[in-house]
Structure 1
Amino acid sequence: MAASANEAGQNLSRNALIALVIGSMVGSGIFALPAQFGRSTGALGAIIAWVIAGTGMLALAFVFQSLSQRKPELDAGIYAYAKAGFGDYIGFASAVGYWIGCCLADVACLILIKATLGQFFPVFGDGTTPTAIAVASLLLWSVHLLVLRGIKGAAALNTAATFAKIIPILLFIVVAVTAFDGGLFARNFWGTAQPDFGDVVTQVRSTMLLTVFVFVGIEGASVYSRYASNRADIGIATVSGFLTVLCLLVLVTLLSYGVLSRPELADLPTPSMAGVMESIVGRWGSVFISMALLIAILGNYLSWSLLAAEILHSAAIQRTMPTFLASENAHKAPVGALWLTNSVIQAFLIVSWFAEYAFTLALKMTSAMTLIPYFLVAAYGLKLASSGEGYVASERARTVDGIGASIATLYAAGMIYAGGPKFLLLSAILYAPGTLLFLIARRERKERLFKPVESVLFGALAIAAGAGIYGLAVGAISI
């Protein structure tokens, strides 16, 4: 498949891969950070949260870099690693979880676009009014037609959008630095009237799913590894893109604590970066950031559309998904995967009408759905380092990779725990019906539906999904 992609002129340069990573991560999340963090924690908690998230995600970035070198034949990224390490069904579950996470991220983007417009046109409200959903649906299918014209053309547009949205964020950082009040930052430091480190721990935990969301997309270059002009660019793009985004996230978050008090930050409407900018330079600042947000999210939305379709398409090529998802059109776009992906996004958009805080729910569910695939990638990296597979005897890199993979595995497991049972049960509700695709693929190949261990795993997943549905029915779980 890599050969056919290259022959078709679909190969991507290092800069295009870096733009895919940055474009996937920089979107709706960064523009909502001031208020999201202001509601959850003070400056100290934010610092601790970013240290934990930065360390864990950097370790994961290095795992992706190492795996691209040790297992170059696995050219479907996050899904292929889980399958190679832990079998067909777990590999399939990783693909489905990541795919649904991408779909939910697109829903978050669409809601935030309409919520931003709602600040100027009340008919869009918080992004979930009937008019907002109708216009979002129109945008959804317009992008669908764009991507059908070819992956490389869409990636080129994403590269341009990435550069266009970074410039306003950098301007916000410069303006915030000039307005930074050290005394106000000190008053916001603990997040409470009196220093209490025990409360800070609680604050940090409440932010962890937020930090995961803004880093989702770190695997963008890995997912598109089959299109890379040079496989060495995959690891470089992943680490470079991550470090760039981490710097932007930390600066946007911490500088905001020196501009407004924590209660003021917490009360800002979405997108809260616009509110911070307005407090410094006036109304034009809010309009400017809102316009930048629309550009950023459109690019981010395009990145997620590409990633969602590619993961389904790659899994279908490797015969873990049904064959209709491997179909391509004349432009080499994954047409079957695109139709299914955008149909699911449309369904989620309709459900968002009934959610009380649709944007926050989509944000946290994206994190919850992608954490398990991240955990499996990190665990596979740890498995290779432990067994020595792919390493030369006594190679020092094996020890270094083992340490990095251990950190990434612990981080992903810790984030799953920090998210709590609610999001695990809601995730199970989405994972369980996705297994239908696995069953269709097995029947196509005339293979046994489940191996014994896989039957146990599916049974546990079905029970968790049932518990989640019951919790929603009786009101124990709310959306």
Structure 2
Amino acid sequence: MTPDWLGFYRYSTRLTMTTTDNKLGLGALCALVVGSIIGAGVFSLPQNMAAVASPLAVMIGWTITGTGMIFLALTFQRLCLDKPEINTGVFGYAKAGFGDLVGFFSCWGYWLSAVLANVSYLVIIFSTLGLFFDTPQHEVFGQGNTLVSALLASGFVWMIHFLLLRGVQTAAIINAVTTIAKLIPLFVFIVVAAVAFKLSTFTLDFSVVTAMPEADLMTQVKETMLITVWVFIGIEGAVVVSSRARNRKDVGRATIFGLLITLFIYVMVSLLSMGVITTTELAQMQNPSAAQVLKHILGPVGLWIVGLGLIVSVSGAYLSWTLLANESPYIGAREKMFPSLFGKTNSKGTPKNILLISNAVVQFVLIWVTIEGGTYESLLNVASEMILVPYLFVALYALKTGRQDGNIKMMLFGGMASVYGFWLLYAAGLHHLLLTSLLYFPGLAFYIMAKREYGEPWFAGNNRWIILGLMALAMTAAVVILF
């Protein structure tokens, strides 16, 4: 059952109702899919892609990602239809298929990924302001990691914190406005870049990355994977309002149509940029690089079009993902996988304790970004790695239950999504996997606290082998990082 504090979703869907029967039509569902996926990542795609891959590798990477994400979306949609009794979000499928410890880690990974995504939003907002106000002689905002950026970002964090403590009705209105704000500059970008596109520029380094001349084509494709996963985070939002669909079949159609629209936008933004500015120049740009590309074509007005659109869009995305970041631990507490304090709400229905903990973690990471000089790209990688596990377990559960129930569609969708999930783990590489295990390990303390609170065993059965395996990986990761 959807928690009361997510009434923001119920309210926002009413803004897109197509009839008076309080049901969503195909067009409204498509809009919700697109709005839930597109965030800050698209505005940095030109630089992110050019830094690690050639135009040929980018095309191959998008083909793999598009196919994999379509099967993952179909998996979510099929589970929503065939397993309506599982209504606890992404981690509910992991728990149903592989036990409560795996469900807990899926929940933990989703939460931490969302929190890190919020930090990246703050970094990109102030990096964008740096494009407007910084000069070669005087850096104020830099790449969003200066002291001024950190102080202003901290103020923004706690302003949103107190806003949400008062309820989420205002969040719905802001979310509707920012969904429109993010699409306008993107369509302007695509049209203008298509006109300015030059085939000679696009094919100049068609299969070679100047900054990584030793990287073969497969290495380049692998390097694009975490970036493409990052920009599709939120795909699970497509099934959130499936119960409100006028026709249940429209959920699947809208998921595919919305994904294709989003994929079109992503492919156009990344590839058209490579035909406007060489990949070598794109790789060296400050993010949001889409603003820099449009400035190259239109002059300062291009910078303002993308920059202002991004700031409004990402501010709204931060608000939405603050709510989503708290959803998993809140429901996890109700499922007795997190300590009960995570499920406490105030008089407005807002989960006050997990909201405080989430924002405290955001504040800590902001301090780390300032001290260590972390960037949007470094946060992107970690957040993408953390979300891989929850997505993979959704696919594996669909494959498992499809085999048990003799459901061919479920088995096909889950199987293909699982192949894509394992490919992502391979593409991420051993170093990233070790780092992920190090970030999953601290969550174990909260699981143990919850089990002790409810008088249930935590080191029994398959749990002990999962815990010992995670400990071994985390220790290995610590040794690798230290030495």
Contact 2:5 2:351 in 1 (8 A): no
SS at structure 2 position matched to 1:69: helix
- The answer on 1:127 being equivalent to 2:138 is no
Structure 1 residues 252, 297: CA separation in 2 closer, same or farther (over 3 Å shift)?
A: same
Matched with 2:39 is 27
Matched with 2:459 is 450
Contact 1:385 1:399 in 2 (8 A): yes
Structure 1 residues 133, 8: CA separation in 2 closer, same or farther (over 3 Å shift)?
A: closer
How far 1:16 sits from its partner (Å)?
A: 7.7
Aligned ranges 1:79-478 → 2 under 5 Å:
79-119=91-131, 120-121=133-134, 122-191=139-208, 199-222=216-239, 224=240, 232=248, 235=252, 238-388=255-405, 398-474=407-483
How far 1:160 sits from its partner (Å)?
A: 1.9
TM-score by length of 1: 0.90
- The percentage of counterpart residues that share the same residue type is 37
CA distance in 2, matches of 1:50, 1:6: 33
How far 1:242 sits from its partner (Å)?
A: 2.4
CA distance in 1, matches of 2:463, 2:176: 40
CA distance in 1, matches of 2:196, 2:263: 22
How far 1:53 sits from its partner (Å)?
A: 0.5
How far 1:356 sits from its partner (Å)?
A: 4.5
CA distance in 2, matches of 1:163, 1:472: 43
How far 1:212 sits from its partner (Å)?
A: 0.8
1:53-105 deviation per Cα after TM superposition (whole angstroms, max 9, x unaligned): 01111100000000000111211221101000100000000000010000111
The letter for the 1-side match of 2:311 is L
2:88 aligned to 76, 83, 108, which one?
A: 76
Deviates more, 1:434-443 or 1:398-407: 398-407
Matched with 1:394 is none
CA distance in 1, matches of 2:254, 2:364: 33
How far 1:284 sits from its partner (Å)?
A: 1.7
1:171-208 deviation per Cα after TM superposition (whole angstroms, max 9, x unaligned): 11011111111222232432369xx9982222111111
CA distance in 1, matches of 2:217, 2:230: 21
CA distance in 2, matches of 1:219, 1:453: 28
How far 1:312 sits from its partner (Å)?
A: 1.3
Deviates more, 1:463-472 or 1:257-266: 463-472
How far 1:336 sits from its partner (Å)?
A: 2.3
1:23-51 deviation per Cα after TM superposition (whole angstroms, max 9, x unaligned): 44322211111111111112111110000
How far 1:458 sits from its partner (Å)?
A: 1.1
Structure 1 residues 385, 266: CA separation in 2 closer, same or farther (over 3 Å shift)?
A: same
How far 1:385 sits from its partner (Å)?
A: 1.1
CA distance in 2, matches of 1:240, 1:302: 26
How far 1:269 sits from its partner (Å)?
A: 1.3
Give aligned pairs, total.
Answer: 463
1:64 aligned to 53, 76, 96, which one?
A: 76
Contact 2:33 2:237 in 1 (8 A): yes
How far 1:238 sits from its partner (Å)?
A: 4.1
Contact 1:219 1:238 in 2 (8 A): no
CA distance in 2, matches of 1:34, 1:20: 25
CA distance in 1, matches of 2:66, 2:436: 24
1:39 aligned to 45, 51, 64, which one?
A: 51
SS at structure 2 position matched to 1:90: helix
SS at structure 1 position matched to 2:442: helix
TM-score by length of 2: 0.89
How far 1:4 sits from its partner (Å)?
A: 6.2
Root mean square deviation of aligned Cα: 2.6
The letter for the 1-side match of 2:202 is F
1:279-335 deviation per Cα after TM superposition (whole angstroms, max 9, x unaligned): 111122112211111112112212221211111111112221111111222222222
How far 1:244 sits from its partner (Å)?
A: 2.4
How far 1:227 sits from its partner (Å)?
A: 8.6
Structure 1 residues 104, 20: CA separation in 2 closer, same or farther (over 3 Å shift)?
A: farther
CA distance in 1, matches of 2:115, 2:32: 17
Contact 1:10 1:152 in 2 (8 A): no
CA distance in 1, matches of 2:145, 2:435: 20
Deviates more, 1:144-153 or 1:72-81: 144-153
